[in-house]
């Protein structure tokens, strides 16, 4: 009997050691009531600062919370959401890699999804897929992450990999509905009958009902005309952000659709949006000889030439697109072209384009606002003043009114002397439209500086920088701020 007991002593000792270590580990991870209260207090403060757009203070409070209970994900979600808002995506990656190491695998997968979603939103699908893959390799299931990974694989043209993730089980009902909608798009490139049967079995939620009705209607509207069918389906795929599916069904019909304008347009558009610019230009060259859809075709080809750094053809095709625009101003096209011209330093050309547009569309508020912006960048003060006066006579919507006030005040402050009462009147209106406007606090700082209120001016500049998530006025604010210190 004693011999038997001696035989088990080492195992008993090992068991006791394991129990002791497990107890110590659990005790080390136990959160006290005091810690929990302190954590929740910091989170509440951080959220209040975030609501007030005081991002630095919010990050600081989230950071304090993460130090109190490092294993809770809320604080890290707050920090990363602010970094992403400020477009500091690489910094957010560092937070996950270096600071969030105490988190569990599922919580870390949530953070990787947040970062991946930002890259996805920016159209950086390779970077998005890398972030999603980081989350997928943590050994836990995150169905929202799996769905997004399936979507980004389809964006990249990897249909088999996309289907593998979209066909998984275990999604929430809303996720399943979205996955099935995308699968119906994929199946419709392979087998129309299968897609029709598949979509009949789905009960969509309110979020996706309109998209289900669209694809159902188109599938039921298809006939024996392959060109017509492919073009109809391609429009849906492209509008939903999956141009590779359009390429999949249109490219095999390339020779058949050479005289079919709509088919050629959608194929050229699909190649442009997928990023295959050489193919896009070749297809759009053929489409441009068919007559019709000139603005759309030249616009797409201009984008493709621009991405290939062929600036001469870029400018030529943007000019052609504008020329065929007709009586209705396509605001996205105009703004895109002018931004391209300024980016490639063709300032005189930008001034010429905006002058012609302002002449042809003299009562269009958007065109006159673009004339103000372009001439302000070109430091053409007399023309800025002229177009600002033109805008004063027009009825402006809230968005353009806000821009008008920003540029009116920029123009006034750039003058050697200005009427303070006039400035304050415009500032008051700007504040009423947007109380978190970074330009407003930049202007306020200038007024305070004029009055000798240096400390208040510094505070206003800090708020301007804080609110300027698009970095429109930050450089100016920092320059003045540094001069005050």
Q: Give the model's pLDDT for residue 418.
A: 77
Q: What is the pLDDT of residues 140-172, one digit of tens each?
A: 999 999 999 999 999 999 999 999 999 999 999
Q: Give the pLDDT mean for 363-370.
A: 97
Provide the percentage of residues in the chain whose pLDDT is more than 70: 94
Q: Are 118 and 89 in contact (CB under 8 A)?
A: yes
Considering only CA atoms, which of 60, 72, 64, 90 is closest in space to residue 29?
Answer: 72
DSSP 233-254: HHHHHHHTT-HHHHHHHHGGGT
The rounded percent of the chain whose pLDDT value lies above 90 is 85
Express each pLDDT in 82-124 by its tens digit.
999 999 999 999 999 887 788 999 999 999 999 999 999 999 9
* Structure confidence at residue 10 (pLDDT): 53
Measured CA angle at 46 (ends 40, 52), to 5 deg: 140
Rounded to an integer, the average pLDDT of 232-236 is 96
Q: What is the mean pLDDT of residues 343-372?
A: 96
Q: Which of 121, 122, 147 is nearest to 135 (CA)?
A: 147
pLDDT, average across residues 13-42: 65
DSSP state of 52: T
| Per-position b or e across 63-87, b if 16+ CB within 10 A of its CB | bbbbebbeebbbbbbbbbbbbbebe
Retrieve residue 173's tokens. Answer: 């009902």
What pLDDT sits at residue 24? 41
In this prediction, residue 223 has a pLDDT band, given cuts at 50, 70 and 90, of confident
Is the pLDDT confidence value at 17 over 70? no
Mean residue pLDDT across the chain: 92
Q: How confident is the model at residue 485 (pLDDT cuts 50, 70, 90)?
A: confident
What is the pLDDT, as a whole number, of residue 157?
A: 97
Does the pLDDT value for residue 131 go beyond 80? yes
């Amino acid at each position: 009997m004693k011999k038997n007991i001696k035989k088990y002593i080492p195992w008993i000792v090992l068991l006791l050691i394991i129990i002791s270590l497990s107890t110590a580990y659990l005790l080390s991870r136990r959160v006290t009531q005091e810690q929990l209260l302190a954590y929740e207090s910091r989170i509440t403060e951080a959220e209040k600062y975030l609501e007030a757009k005081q991002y630095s203070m919010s990050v600081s409070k989230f950071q304090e919370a993460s130090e109190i209970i490092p294993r809770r994900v809320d604080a890290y979600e707050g920090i990363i959401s602010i970094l992403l808002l400020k477009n500091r995506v690489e910094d957010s990656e560092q937070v996950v890699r270096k600071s969030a190491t105490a988190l569990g695998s599922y919580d870390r997968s949530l953070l990787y999804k947040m970062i991946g979603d930002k890259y996805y939103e920016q159209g950086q699908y390779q970077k998005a897929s890398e972030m999603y893959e980081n989350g997928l390799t943590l050994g836990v299931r995150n169905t929202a992450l799996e769905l997004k990974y399936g979507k980004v694989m389809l964006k990249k043209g990897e249909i088999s990999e996309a289907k593998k993730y979209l066909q998984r089980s275990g999604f929430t009902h809303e996720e399943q509905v979205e996955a099935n909608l995308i699968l119906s798009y994929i199946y419709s490139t392979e087998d129309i009958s299968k897609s029709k049967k598949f979509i009949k079995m789905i009960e969509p939620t309110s979020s996706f009902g309109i998209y289900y009705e669209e694809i159902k209607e188109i599938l039921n509207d298809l006939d024996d005309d392959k060109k017509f069918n492919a073009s109809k389906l391609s429009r849906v795929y492209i509008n939903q952000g999956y141009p590779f599916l359009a390429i999949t069904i249109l490219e095999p019909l390339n020779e058949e659709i050479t005289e079919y304008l709509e088919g050629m347009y959608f194929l050229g558009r699909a190649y442009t949006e997928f990023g295959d610019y050489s193919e896009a230009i070749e297809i759009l060259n053929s489409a441009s000889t068919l007559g019709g859809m000139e603005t759309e075709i030249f616009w797409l080809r201009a984008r493709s030439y621009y991405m290939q750094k062929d600036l001469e053809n870029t400018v030529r095709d943007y000019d052609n697109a504008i020329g065929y625009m007709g009586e209705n101003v396509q605001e996205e096209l105009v703004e895109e072209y002018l931004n391209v011209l300024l980016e490639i330093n063709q300032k005189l050309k930008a001034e010429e384009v905006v002058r012609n547009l302002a002449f042809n569309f003299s009562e269009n508020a958007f065109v006159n606002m673009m004339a103000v912006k372009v001439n302000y960048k070109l430091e053409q003060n007399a023309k800025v003043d002229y177009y600002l006066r033109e805008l004063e006579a027009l009825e402006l919507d809230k968005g353009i009114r806000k821009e008008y006030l920003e540029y009116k005040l920029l123009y006034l402050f750039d003058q050697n002397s200005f009427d303070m009462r006039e400035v304050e009147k415009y500032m008051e209106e700007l504040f009423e439209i947007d109380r978190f406007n970074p330009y407003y606090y930049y202007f306020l700082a200038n007024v305070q500086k004029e009055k000798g209120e240096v400390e208040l001016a510094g505070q206003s500049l800090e708020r301007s920088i804080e609110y300027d998530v698009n970095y429109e006025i930050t450089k100016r604010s920092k320059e003045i701020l540094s001069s005050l210190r």
